[in-house]
Amino acid sequence: MKTHCFHLNPEPFASIQSGDKTIESRLYDAKRQVIQNGDSLTFYNRDDTNHFIVATVTQLHHYSSFHELFTSQPPQKFGKTSIEELERQIALYYSPDDEEKYGVLGIEFDLSRPETKTL
């Protein structure tokens, strides 16, 4: 079992903390290709890295585009937002060229034993 770290803006961090968001969306690049079911995820609040949440990977969803990912999974798993807003937000971080080159990954996780901590 490996631990993978993610730095999130305050809004998606809060959405995970509340249990509203249970899938994290990323490129399927070399860094994410090593993630496996059962691995541990540590989500850090980008504005205050002393706050973090620990979760467990339960399922991996591979797609060729973020649009495919967002439309193939129940929207509530991505937090309280629309597909259009998800696509707008993800475009701030990943280019269409990178999306085409690597594909995308939806990392589904479980917070049944959430550990939200402050250092």
| pLDDT recorded at residue 102 | 98
What angle is formed at CA 34 by the lines to CA 32 and CA 39, rounded to 5 degrees?
95
Q: pTM for this one? A: 0.91
Mean pLDDT score across all residues of the chain = 92
Tokens representing 22 are 């249970």
pLDDT of residue 113: 56
What is the spatial distance between Cα 113 and Cα 106, in angstroms, rounded to a whole number? 20
For the chain, which residues score pLDDT lower than 50? 114
B/e letters for 69-104, b = 16+ CB within 10 Å, e = fewer, are bbeebeeeebbebeeeebeebbeeebeeeebeebbb
- The whole-number pLDDT of residue 96 equals 95
pLDDT in tens, 32-45: 999 999 999 999 99
